[in-house]
Structure 1
Amino acid sequence: MENIQLRLEAEKAEIIEDRREFVCYNSKNKNSKIRCEENSVSGAVSQRACVYCGARVVLNPITDAFHLIHGPIGCAAYTWDLRGSLSSGSELFRNSFSTDLSETDVIFGGEKKLREAVDEIVKKFHPKVIFIYATCIVGVIGDDIDAVCRSAEEKYGIRVIPVKSPGFSGNKSTGYRAACNAILKLIGDKKSDKKVSGINYLGDFNLAGEVWVVENYLKRIGIDIVSKLTGDGKVDEIVKAPEAKLNIVQCAGSMGYLAKQMEELYDIPFIKTSFVGLEDTENSLLQVANIVGDEETVERARELIKAESEKIQPELDYYRGRLKGKKAAIYVGGGYKAISLIKQFRDLGMETVMVGTQTGKPEDYEIIRQITKDGTVILDDANPYELEKFMVEKGADVLVGGVKERPLAYKLGVAFCDHNHERKHILGGFQGAINFAKEIDLTVNSPVWDYV
C-alpha cells in the first residue's frame, strides 16, 4: 500500500496535510501502513459521527429501555426514526426523552432537572432500565450524573445507568465503548454456572429485521440465541447473556470491545461473523455450527446453504450479467462491513475502486489491502472532498454509504446505495444478497444517468 504522498506529489494543495497518512493507494506493499483509530483532523469536516451518536447507535435498539438524553433538545432528535431497527415486542425504544437544558441550566447546573425527569419517567412508565446519556454541554458544566443514577436506583429499585458520551470526548468508537460499558453494567459482573447450548448475537441492530433472518437460519440448524445485543434486544434476555457458550460478533467495530470484556468476565469465547453477502453468510453459518453444534448440526447447515443458494442463483445470475465490469466505491462505518461488501461486489463481477470506513482497525485495513486490486484507494475517516475526488478519479459507477454520503454521489451523477441505519429493507443473508443486487442494478442502470 503506497502512501498518498508518493502519488499526489503534484497535488499537495488538494489533500489536507494532516490527512495524508490516512489515505492510501493499495500497492501490496506489506511494509506500508495506514493511520487509523484516531480522532478526526480538525477542519477536515469528517463524515464520522460524535461520541453520543456512537453510544446511541448501540443502545437504542434495546426495545424496552428508556433513553434519557441529558442535554439540549437537539440531541434527542437522534432517535428511532433515523434508524430501521425493528422490535418483536415493546416499542418504548422509539421514544426519546430529554431534559431540554436551557441557558439557565447551563449556568446553575442541570442535576435537579435530571432528577425530576427520572421521577416523571418512573411515575408514568414504570421502566426496567433507564440509560442516561451525558451530552456535550453536560461534559462542560460537570453535572454528576453518576450520583443521580445511584440515587435513583436506591429510590426506585430499578437500573438507572449513566452513559458517558459527551460528543467532544473522543470519536464514534469512544461512544461504542461507552455503550458497551453501560451494557456490562446492566448484565452485572457475575459468571453464570449454568451454560446453555446457545449463542449471543452481538453487533446487529435489526435493521429491517435482519436479526430475525439470522435467528431463523440458526434455528433451522438447531442453534438458539440466548440474547441479542442489541437489535430487538430485551432487558430480561440481555441479563442472561453469561449463560451462552459463544458470542458471535457481526459488527466488530461497535461490539468487539464488548465481546473481549465478556470473554474475560464470563468465559465466553467469541468469533467475528458477517451475514452480508453469500460468501460470508455461508462461512459464518458453518463456523457457528462447527463450534456450538455437532456433526449433525454442521450437516444441517450445509443443507440450508445448498437449498438457499440454489433458490436465488437464477436471479443472481441475471443481475451479474447486468452489473459485470461496473466500478464500486464504499464508505461505511466499520471495517468488517466494508470487507463483506468488497466480496459481495466481486461476486457480482464488479470491482471495488475506493473503500473507506469511519472506525476501521489496522487488521481490517490489512484484509482490505489483500482482497482489493493495486491502485484501489483506501481511506480512514474520510471527508466529503476526499470522497468526491477519488470517486471521480477512479470512475466509480456507484457509492455504497449512509445518509451523509448520498448527496455527494448524486451531485457527481454517481449511483447510490444506502447500506446504513436508515434503510427499511433487508440486505443480509441469502434474500438480502438478491435485494442488494437488485438495488445496485436499479440505481447503476437507471435511465436517469443518461440525462445527467
Structure 2
Amino acid sequence: MDYLTLKEAPKREDRLHSCITYGGTLCGLQKRLGHGCLQDGEREFSQGSLCLLLPALAIINTFPDNVIIMHAAVGCGSCLQSHNGSARSGGMLRTGKLKDAIWVSTALNEIDVISGGEKKLRQAIIEVDRLYTPKTITVVSGCVPGIIGDDIDGTVDDLRSQISAILIPVHCEGFKTKIWATAYDAIYHGLGKNLLEDPAQRNRVISDDIEEARFNYLKKRRVNLCNLSSMSRIDELELTRLLNALDLDVNIFPLYKDSEQMYSVKYAALSISTCPTHDDYFLQFLKERFGIPYLLQHMPVGIENTKSWIRSVAQFFGKEAAAEQLIQYEMSLLEEALIPYRKFFKGKTAFISAGEFRALATAYLVHELGFTVIGVRPFHHDEYAEKEYEKLKNIVGDFPLNIANMQPFEEANLLRSLKPDLFMGHSQSNATAVKLGIPVHTVFSSSLSYIGFRGVFEVARRLYRQLSNPSLNRKFPKYIKLPYKESWYQESPFKYIKDNKDES
C-alpha cells in the first residue's frame, strides 16, 4: 500500500505488528513466532522509555538549510540543544561547512490547549520564513497538537503559496505509539510527500534531452545508499568504496542531503538499505511509485553480513565475479589482521543491547571475533528480523533474549546474573552496565567505524584496548550504586511481563 497518500505514517503496531515486550530465550521466541502466538504484552511495571520525537529531531537536525518549528509545549524539543554538536560535525565532514541547526518552538501553553494552537503555528511559519529564508521548514508536531486536534497539515497547505520555503509536516505525537522506530517512517513520510519533485522540471516547457540521457545512464548503475542515522560518515565512505569497486555510482540519502537534491533518489537502478528497521517504509514507497527495486535484509556489520550484502548487490547488477574478487582481496587483509585479537577475545562473554537489527548484527560480529554471546536486548521486534534470529541460532546457539524499550530494571537483573565480560549498548544506555562494573563499549557513534570490512577491524581494535585494561569499569561499583534492592536480583528479570512463560 502507498502509505504516502495518507496524512501521516501509520504506527508500527498496525503496519508491522511490532512488539516491545518479551522475556525468555532466543529459542523460546522462535517457538512463539512459529506458532503465531507472539503478541505484544504489557508490563505490570514499566521504567523508562523513549518518545519517537527524540530520534526524529536528531535526524531532522541534519538537514541543511532547514529550520525546525517545534509545535508543542516549550519543553518538547529541548533535546535539540544536545544534537547540535553532532549536526555541526556531520555537516562539516560532508559539505565542508560548519553550520548550526536552527529550531524554534510555538511554546503551547494552557490557553492554547483550550483555544487551539493553529494561529501560533501560522505566525511562526511566516516569521521563520521572513527571518531565516531557509530552503525548507520542518513543522514537527508533538503530543499537545495531537490531543487538542490542531490541523497541522491544513495550516501548512494554506500557507504554501505565501511562503518561499518548502513546508514539511512531520507527525511525532508520542502518545500514539510505543514503537519509537515509527519516527523513521514519519520522517520519510514528510520527505516523500514534499521533496521528490525535481526543481529544474517545475517550470520547464521544453524537455532537456541531454539531462534525460544523463538520468537514463544513472538509472543503469546508480544505487541509493540509505542512511537514516544508521551509519557514520566513516561508514558511508567504507560502503561507497566497496560499491565503487563494483563500478557503481552511489547516492547517499537522506542525512545531510540538500533539499534541492532530494529528488535524485528517484533516478537509481536499486535502493540499498543499511538498516531494515530504518528504511523499509520508504524503500517500499520508491518501488511502488517509481519502480525502483530494493535490497532489505540485514546490516553490513560483521564479516559474513558484509559478504552477503556485497553479493546481493553484485547479483542484481550481474557483477558476481567482481564481487568475489573484491571479497577475496579484502578477506586476505582482514583475516591476518584479526589473528591476535581473536586469541585475546576467545573465552570472553558479551551482552548486546541496541535497536533490533544493530543488536543482532553486532552479536554476529562479536561472535566472529571470538566472543561468546550470552544475551541480547533488541529495543523492539518486527517481521523483518526473523531470518536474523534464525541465523543467530544456527551460528551462535541459544541465549537469553529480552525485547524491551529501555526498561533498565530488567537489564540490571540480567546483567547481574549473567556477568558478561563486555556490554555493548548505545552511549545513553550504558550506565546500568557501568554501575555493575562491566566494561562497556558504544554500539554506535557518529564518529566511529562499525560497518563493512573496515568496521570489523576497527571494532576489534577498540575492544582490545577496552578490555586490555578494564580497571576503571571494575572500580565503579565501589562508588556508584544502582537503585534496586538486593531482593530484586533474586527475582526473574521478566517477572513483570504479563503472560510471560518460561521459554527456556
* Rounded Cα–Cα distance in structure 2 between residues aligned with 1:435 and 1:20: 31
Give runs of aligned pairs for residues 29-428 of structure 1, distance below 5 A.
31-33=31-33, 38=40, 41=43, 43-47=45-49, 49-79=50-80, 81-82=82-83, 84=86, 86-87=90-91, 88-89=94-95, 94-170=101-177, 171-188=179-196, 194=216, 195-205=219-229, 206-226=231-251, 228-272=252-296, 273-292=298-317, 294-295=318-319, 298-333=320-355, 335-365=356-386, 367-372=388-393, 373-382=396-405, 383-420=407-444, 422-428=445-451
Asked if the contact 2:439–2:466 (Cα under 8 Å) also holds between the matched residues in 1, the reply is yes
The answer on whether the counterparts of 1:69 and 1:98 sit within 8 Å (CA) in structure 2 is yes
SS in 2 for 1:96: strand
Opposite residue 184 of structure 2, the aligned amino acid is: Y
- The aligned amino acid for 1:55 is A
What is the TM-score with the length of structure 1 in the denominator? 0.84
Structure 1 CA distance, aligned partners of 2:228 and 2:155?
Answer: 31
Distance 1:21 1:52, change over 3 A: closer
Paired residue type of 1:142: G
Q: Which amino acid aligns with 1:427?
A: Y
1:113 Cα offset (Å): 2.4
The one-letter code of the counterpart of 2:107 is D
Counterpart CA distance in 1 for 2:285 and 2:42 is 26
CA deviation after TM superposition for structure 1 residue 284, in Å: 1.3
Letter in 2 for 1:22: Y
Alignment partner, residue 27 of structure 2 = 27
Contact 2:58–2:80 (Cα < 8 Å) also in 1:
no
Displacement of 1:165 in angstroms is: 1.0
Do the aligned partners of residues 316 and 384 (structure 1) sit closer, same or farther apart at CA in structure 2, a change above 3 Å counting?
Answer: same
Q: Does the aligned pair in 2 maintain the 1:153–1:160 contact within 8 Å?
A: yes
In 2, Cα distance between equivalents of 1:423 and 1:20: 26
What's the TM-score, normalizing by structure 2? 0.76
| Residue identity opposite 1:304 in structure 2 | L
Q: What do residues 240-273 of structure 1 show as CA deviations (whole Å, max 9, x unaligned)?
A: 2121111111111121111112211111111125
AA partner of residue 351 (structure 2): A
Write out per-residue CA displacement over residues 174-194 of structure 1, whole angstroms, 9 at most, x where no aligned residue. Answer: 32222221121124489x995
Aligned residue identity for 1:313 = E
Residues 207 and 101 (structure 1), Cα distance of their counterparts in 2 relative to 1, 3 Å cut: farther
Across the aligned residues of Structure 1 and Structure 2, the Cα RMSD in angstroms comes to 3.0
SS in 1 for 2:31: coil
Q: Secondary structure at the match of 2:64?
A: coil
Q: Could you tell me how far 1:215 is from its partner in structure 2?
A: 1.9
The amino acid that maps onto 2:150 is D
> Quick one: structure 1 residues 37 and 112, their matched pair in 2 at CA, closer, same or farther if it must change by over 3 Å?
farther
Quote the Cα distance in structure 2 between the aligned partners of 1:404 and 1:436.
Answer: 19
| Matched letter for residue 337 of structure 1 | R
Aligned length: 426
- Please give the per-residue CA displacement for 1:344-401, whole angstroms capped at 9, x wherever unaligned: 1111111111112123213414532541355401121251111122222223111211
Equivalent-residue separation in structure 1 for 2:267 and 2:387 (angstroms): 34
Aligned AA for 1:113? K
| Identical residues among aligned pairs (%) | 21
SS in 2 for 1:202: strand
SS in 2 for 1:417: strand
Mind listing any 5+ residue stretches in structure 1 that lack a counterpart?
1-18
Deviation string for 1:6-62 (max 9, x for gaps)?
A: xxxxxxxxxxxxx99611213378533397785874741244x21223433554433
Q: Mark the runs of 5 or more structure 2 residues left unpaired by the alignment.
A: 1-18, 199-211, 477-504
Q: Alignment partner of 1:32: what SS? A: helix
Judge which range, 283-292 or 38-47, deviates more.
Answer: 38-47
Q: Is the 2:66–2:102 contact (alpha carbons within 8 Å) kept by the matching residues of 1? A: no
Letter in 2 for 1:332: A
Distance in structure 2 (CA, Å) of the matches to 1:39 and 1:197: 45
SS at match of 2:32: coil
Cα deviation 1:418-452 (Å, max 9, x = unaligned)? 123x5522222222222211222233332415545
The one-letter code sitting in structure 1 at the alignment partner of 2:246 is I
Q: For structure 1, which segment, 123-132 or 348-357, has the greater mean C-alpha deviation from structure 2 after superposition?
A: 123-132
In structure 2, how many angstroms separate the alpha carbons of the residues matched to 1:251 and 1:57? 17
Q: Structure 2: how far apart are the matches of 1:117 and 1:134?
A: 13
User: Which of 1 and 2 has higher RCO (CA within 8 Å, sep 6+)?
Assistant: 2
Residues 443/53 of structure 1: CA separation in 2 closer, same or farther (3 Å cut)? same
